[in-house]
Amino acid sequence: EATVSNQTIVHYHPDMLDHRQQRLTMEAQLRKAIANYELRLYFQPQMDIATGKIIGAEALLRWQHGENMVSPVEFIPVAEQSGLIIEIGEWIIEQACRVAKNLLDAGQAIPIAINISARQFQHPELYQQIERALQRHQLPAELIELEITESVAMHQQDEVLAVLNRFKALGVGLSIDDFGTGYSSLAYLRQFPVNKLKIDRSFIVEMLEQSEDEALVNTIIGISHHLQMKVVAEGVETEPQLARLKEMGCDTLQGYLYSRPLPESDFNQFVKATTAS
């Protein structure tokens, strides 16, 4: 019962130890997952609201762990904290470029959007990773898009602006993800060389029941267009949502109404089926 051991107990509170232990266990398993090729990239189609045709896709990471599919919501934070996200991110960039190039060779120019986490975005090698992957695959830069969240975009705005301008010069597309969930400075947003805003699913879910949500969706669509950006609604699941978003002038839809995220071969099939005339 010495003070020191009391302090130790306080510092390593059972819950914390548990939590820390869990994180370390998952980190070790994630390292194995990389070595054993248990990570998969899925692709969710993005549809042009006017034509109903596919105009892009978002790459979403999956971890097939034994029988279970571990959600990225659980392991991305662990990958972030441990730094494994840099290695995983490079693999994602490689896969996305490969898939976009295969589609291009088959006659379909479909941009693939990649989620870039905070730590990846701050990493000095991200730019080179992307530049090299584009070169290796002889892929036009416009066929890769980067999604950064609103919170990453609004943190250290001057540094972010400099990085975004480099990517813009390279020619890749840039989107702000989860728009509406953080605090965006509209003054900064105006300066960002961003092509797209993605409206977070949380606003779409009850849009037709909650007039406040609908008003926000409408406002975000207006802001996007005033800033000459395209706007994507995420998590669209029903025809009535589609109809309302169309009335409001939204450009692009992504959601279970059209398709869940698909493994590569199913995604290629989806593209073939929806682009055949």
CB 201, min distance to Ca ion, A: 6
* Sole binder of ligand C2E in the list 65, 98, 201, 225 (CB under 6 A): 201
Angle at 21 between CA 15 and CA 22, to 5 degrees: 90
Q: Letter for the amino acid at 149?
A: T
- CB of 128 vs Ca ion, minimal distance in Å: 23
CA distance linking residue 203 with residue 151, whole number of Å: 17
| Structure tokens belonging to residue 92 | 């994602």
Closer of 40 and 132 to ligand C2E (Cβ): 40
Residue 72 interacting entry, from Ca ion, ligand C2E, none, C-beta within 5 to 8 Å by type: ligand C2E
Examine residue 156 and tell whether it contacts ligand C2E (CB under 6 A).
no
The dihedral region occupied by 239, where left means phi > 0, alpha psi between -120 and 50, and beta the remainder, is alpha
Tokens, residue 272: 């073939």
x/- mask, ligand C2E, residues 209-238, rule CB under 6 A, reads -------------------------xxxx-
β-strand 39-48 against 54-65: which pairing, if any?
Answer: antiparallel
Contacting ligand C2E within 58-87 (CB under 6 A): 59-61, 71-73, 76
The neighbour count for residue 21, using CB atoms within 10 Å, is 10
Among 90, 145, 150, 178, binds Ca ion (CB under 5 A): 178
Task: Collapse the DSSP code of 217 into the 3-class scheme (helix H, G, I; strand E, B; otherwise coil) and give the result.
Answer: helix
Find the binding residues for ligand C2E in span 250-269 (CB under 6 A). Answer: 254-256, 261
Name which of residues 176 to 195 contact ligand C2E (CB under 6 A). Answer: 177-178
Please calculate the CA angle 183-124-82 and round it to the nearest 5 degrees: 75
- CB nearer to Ca ion: pick between 118 and 275: 118
As given in the structure block, the two tokens for residue 50 are 């006017």
Q: From the list ligand C2E, Ca ion, none, pick the one residue 255 interacts with, judged by a Cβ distance below 5 to 8 Å according to partner type.
A: ligand C2E
Shorter beta-carbon distance to Ca ion: residue 29 or 257: 257
Q: How far is the CB of 244 from ligand C2E (least distance, A)?
A: 15
Contacts of 41 (CB under 8 A, 6+ apart): 59, 60, 61, 62, 92, 95, 96, 99, 264
CB of 33 to Ca ion, least distance (A): 21
The one among 90, 145, 150, 177 contacting Ca ion by CB under 5 A: 177
Task: State the pairing for strand pair 54-65/68-70.
Answer: antiparallel
Q: What residues numbered 115-174 form the site for Ca ion, per CB under 5 A?
A: 115, 147
Residue 259 is a binding residue for Ca ion (CB under 5 A) = no
- # residues contacting ligand C2E (CB under 6 A): 22
Single out the residue of 44, 31, 111 nearest to residue 266, CA to CA: 44
